[in-house]
Structure 1
Amino acid sequence: MNTSVDALPGYEREPVPPASRRGFLFESLSSRLLVTCLLALALSLAVVLSGIEYVFAHYPAEVFASELIGEAVHRMAKSVQLDTEGRPVSVPTSPKLEEFRAAFAQQTGYQVVDEYGDAVLSSMPMIVSVPHEGGWMTTQRSRFESAGQIFYVETVPIPGTRKPYFLQVVTSEVFDTTLIRLRLGTVPKVIGISFLVAALIFGVTMLITLRRLVKPIREASQAAAGITPQNLTTRLSLQRIPSEMRPLVASFNDALARLEEGYLAQQTFLAAAAHELQTPLTLIRGQIEMQPASGDRHQILHDVDAMSRQVRQLLHLMEASVLQNYEFSQVDLEHVVQDVTAQLARRAAARGVTIETSLLAPGKQVTADEGGLFILLKNLLENALGFAPKGSSVVIMVNASSISVSDEGPGIDDAHLPFIFSRFWRAPNNKAEGSGLGLAICKEIVLAHGWRLVAERTQPGTLFTIHF
């Protein structure tokens, strides 16, 4: 079993419960808007189709046929051919129109009549005799009955003639109904197909538009996920954020400002307290050393040194927690390792432990803060020396992608591994010197550099590995 400190996020966040695909769709703002718009489009289609069905059911076909047939008769009247004396000689029709009229030869026909109602030209056969009574010349559409059937006649004057001539188109009620059914009966199908095409185009367009709209929100969310105590000065940008979301982003920035203010106040207090404690502890040690020797003198000096070490670690923890304190440059790992081992060589010799260095990548350089890297390796090596038994070795190994520190001590229990990087945490029954801040300082330095620190139990001892 092992535990690690990752570069980011670096601090525990509340886990997001896994959601089913269905739940994800309904939780997505884009999906909700898309589904809502498609439902509105479908509802609009249903209303239109219901309206068409209602009109068909409650209004006679003659109401719709009047306008359709009237337009056709006006076009035919303008196309009537005249002789040199201005008399109608023929009514040109298209092959399609003739084919259609032939299919309904008993239900429709046309004729050209003079001002007295006498036929000059007519279709063959003419389906019924048209009555010419009253003001028939000024009535465009009229209705009459013949042989138990209802007929309609459209009367339109022919332009360009010397004497009044009129084109009359006669249709039966059956023909009008059939015509409207043929013309309008396919409307629901056309609307349905149009809806499918419109829904496809609308859906794709809406999806692309929504993705562009929520892109700034996703970017703001990613920026927020990268904010840690090391970079509390970061603020979310309000550029391209929809106006509805700006108050939320602004409130989040305000919360970050208050958090940064509280965090800096905490760090300032920690630094001030540590600085204020350093001088009294130094004076106390000096006063004790000037006193006559006594049986408790050694223990008192030991306690004062332990307090001084804890004050120094508090200062290191404060400095390691603020990203602005780091100055990054190219650092030679071999040089830093030599400095650390040289400083701790006397302590290792006093404990009867040998420090071994294995440089598998000579000349390896990394981008780091040299002081931070020194404290990181020093704390790891001090931790290893604290648990290494007399006569054993502590090994520092440097390769191209990592650096590790291992010892031959009793090792860390698997149950304790998740807690070793917590501040002031000490394992139960741990009699080694320390205040539980050394590995917490390592954690802050690793996070600031974007590295990964892994601790794992070995047989025997413990292995700490820094992955660059």
Structure 2
Amino acid sequence: MMLRWPNSLRNRVLAVLAASMVASAVLVGGAAMLLWEPFTRWTLRDEIEDNAAELVEHLQFDAQGRPVRLDPAEVEPWLLESLRTEVLLRVADADGKVVLANDERAETLAPDDTVFTGRRNSFTFHRQGVAMHAATIPFKRDGRRWYLQFAVSDRLFLRMRESIGFDVLKQGTLALCATFLVVFLATIHLALKQALNPVRQASDAARRIAPRTLGARLPVAEQPWELRPLVDAFNQALDRLQSGFTTQQAFLSNAAHELKTPLALIRAQVELADEGRWRDRVLDDVDRVARQVQQLLLLAEASEPHNYRVDTVDPKPSIREVFDFMERVAARHGVTLGLQLGQALPHWQADRGALFTLLKNLLENAIQHSPPDGVVKLRVSPTGFAISDQGQGVAEQDLPRIFERFWRGPQRREQGAGLGLAICTEIATAHGWRLTAHRLSPGFEVRCDMSAQA
């Protein structure tokens, strides 16, 4: 089964760190289990030697300079007296003769089958079948050489380790690991969140880039070194996209401008010809092409943000102006226009000319798709407006496509180029509004939501 990594970069880093911690914990735990016994015995021998050296500091001597006891204020007497079979103390002179012991036996301590050598060392020996860990510490006092020997039985150490030390160590280790994990996860979460903040900001900036804001670029200097090539490549792709988009818009505008004059000359020449069916058909074709050229020009102008001059507009006069203008068009098609204005309409932030074009195109589209004696309604509310007709409507699967450029449905009109709603979309987007299409029974409705602008 293939391992699937989390999609989030932060989660991937956390997963790698967590896996590393688990692997480290397993290795350390395994090593601890294998080395626990030899390590504790080595620690015991080292600890016994350190304790023996410390006992030297607590020896008390008589007037003749002979050691007589350990300082009871530092070493409690009961420790050596009650555990004399498990804990041994010897103090011997330079000749190896024991002058102070905590039990009745007065022999020096030495490894099995060896004799006392008087050098500093740690060793193991057996006494009455019990393993003992011991250390010899040479020292001088008033010019005389002495030897202190200290020993602890292996069984006492093991019993203490099993009953006290091991459980305490295990519990302490578990508590430490749990605390470490909590602190680690909290700190690494905050650290990763802060470290990935530039990436999040770049993502937000990329999300805001649209055809009208292609000049924006992602910040490079704030990104980690590893991500800078990716951000640079993205900015270079935006450069190419902006160049292509600018070229496309310039072509649309230039082509529309260049075609207007030849079409006007062709129409003038055709009008001079004798009247006839062919003349009327040619004039219709010229008018149709001229309309498409005009729509291409409007589309190119609507796609450029610098062509808009947004002001505070009272919607009622602008709406009535468009309504009065389109009433004559509706009358020629035998369609009735209805207007419904909401109460207390707020002022809109809009370009007056673009608003006129938006409403005119939507009303014209509704009129042309309405049957004779049909009704087209314009309803205006504080949050936007809606235009509905009583035509055949649009199929459900075609709703997402009606705002595309040059798209025309099965009931398309011969004089239409499929650009009217695309122009409306550009105008609405430039103002921060949103156009949506909805099926009615019967008919079709286009709604403009202006709440996003507010």
How far off is 1:160 after superposition?
A: 5.1
Mapping for residues 1-12 of structure 1, pairs under 5 Å: none
Counterpart in the other structure of 1:32: 12
Counterpart among 227, 235, 244 of residue 209 in structure 2: 227
Counterpart in the other structure of 2:71: 92
How far off is 1:61 after superposition?
A: 6.3
2:48 touches 2:133 (CA, 8 Å); kept in 1?
Answer: no
Counterpart among 423, 437, 440 of residue 419 in structure 2: 437
Comparing 227-236 with 245-254, greater Cα deviation is found at: 227-236
Which letter does structure 2 place at the counterpart of 1:53? M
Which letter does structure 2 place at the counterpart of 1:155? T
Q: Secondary structure at the match of 1:27?
A: coil
Mapping for residues 339-418 of structure 1, pairs under 5 Å: 339-361=321-343, 364-418=346-400
Q: Secondary structure at the match of 1:463?
A: strand
Counterpart in the other structure of 1:171: 152
Q: Deviations over 1:252-279 (max 9, x none)?
A: 1101111111111111111111111111
1:394 touches 1:408 (CA, 8 Å); kept in 2?
Answer: yes
Counterpart in the other structure of 1:49: 29
1:87 touches 1:161 (CA, 8 Å); kept in 2?
Answer: no
Comparing 148-157 with 231-240, greater Cα deviation is found at: 148-157
Rounded to whole Å, the distance in 1 between the matches of 2:354 and 2:158 is: 92
- Pair 1:79–1:387, CA change in 2 (3 A): same
Counterpart in the other structure of 2:223: 241
1:333 touches 1:365 (CA, 8 Å); kept in 2?
Answer: yes
How far off is 1:348 after superposition?
A: 2.3
1:80 touches 1:90 (CA, 8 Å); kept in 2?
Answer: yes
Rounded to whole Å, the distance in 2 between the matches of 1:60 and 1:337 is: 91
Q: Deviations over 1:14-36 (max 9, x none)?
A: xxxxxxxx96x722222222222
2:134 touches 2:152 (CA, 8 Å); kept in 1?
Answer: yes
How far off is 1:148 after superposition?
A: 5.1
- Pair 1:144–1:219, CA change in 2 (3 A): closer
How far off is 1:224 after superposition?
A: 1.9
Rounded to whole Å, the distance in 2 between the matches of 1:135 and 1:214 is: 68
Rounded to whole Å, the distance in 2 between the matches of 1:412 and 1:30 is: 45
Which letter does structure 1 place at the counterpart of 2:358? L
- Pair 1:83–1:421, CA change in 2 (3 A): same
Q: Secondary structure at the match of 2:400?
A: helix
Asked if 1:428 corresponds to 2:428, the answer is no
Rounded to whole Å, the distance in 2 between the matches of 1:357 and 1:151 is: 108
Counterpart in the other structure of 2:119: 138
Counterpart in the other structure of 2:309: 327
Mapping for residues 185-200 of structure 1, pairs under 5 Å: 185=166, 187=169, 190-200=172-182
- If asked which structure has higher relative contact order (CA below 8 Å, sep 6+), I would say 1
1:78 touches 1:158 (CA, 8 Å); kept in 2?
Answer: no
Counterpart among 31, 42, 49 of residue 70 in structure 1: 49
- Pair 1:434–1:115, CA change in 2 (3 A): same
- Pair 1:93–1:49, CA change in 2 (3 A): farther
Counterpart in the other structure of 1:253: 235
Rounded to whole Å, the distance in 2 between the matches of 1:461 and 1:212 is: 53
Counterpart among 290, 295, 303 of residue 285 in structure 2: 303
How far off is 1:219 after superposition?
A: 2.3
Q: Deviations over 1:324-373 (max 9, x none)?
A: 33232212212221232233333223223333332214553111222222
Counterpart in the other structure of 1:269: 251
Q: Secondary structure at the match of 1:396?
A: strand
Q: Deviations over 1:80-122 (max 9, x none)?
A: 2345665434313579966665664312121333334444443
- Pair 1:312–1:60, CA change in 2 (3 A): closer
- Large movers: runs of 4+ above 6 Å: 94-97, 132-135, 179-184
Q: Deviations over 1:230-249 (max 9, x none)?
A: 22212111242111011011
Rounded to whole Å, the distance in 1 between the matches of 2:341 and 2:445 is: 17
Rounded to whole Å, the distance in 2 between the matches of 1:206 and 1:366 is: 48
Rounded to whole Å, the distance in 2 between the matches of 1:103 and 1:376 is: 104
Asked if 1:114 corresponds to 2:93, the answer is yes
**Structure 1 vs Structure 2 CA RMSD:** 3.2
Q: Which runs of 5+ in 2 are unaligned?
A: none
Which letter does structure 2 place at the counterpart of 1:383? N
Give the TM-score normalised by structure 2.
0.86
Q: Which runs of 5+ in 1 are unaligned?
A: 1-21
- Pair 1:129–1:438, CA change in 2 (3 A): same
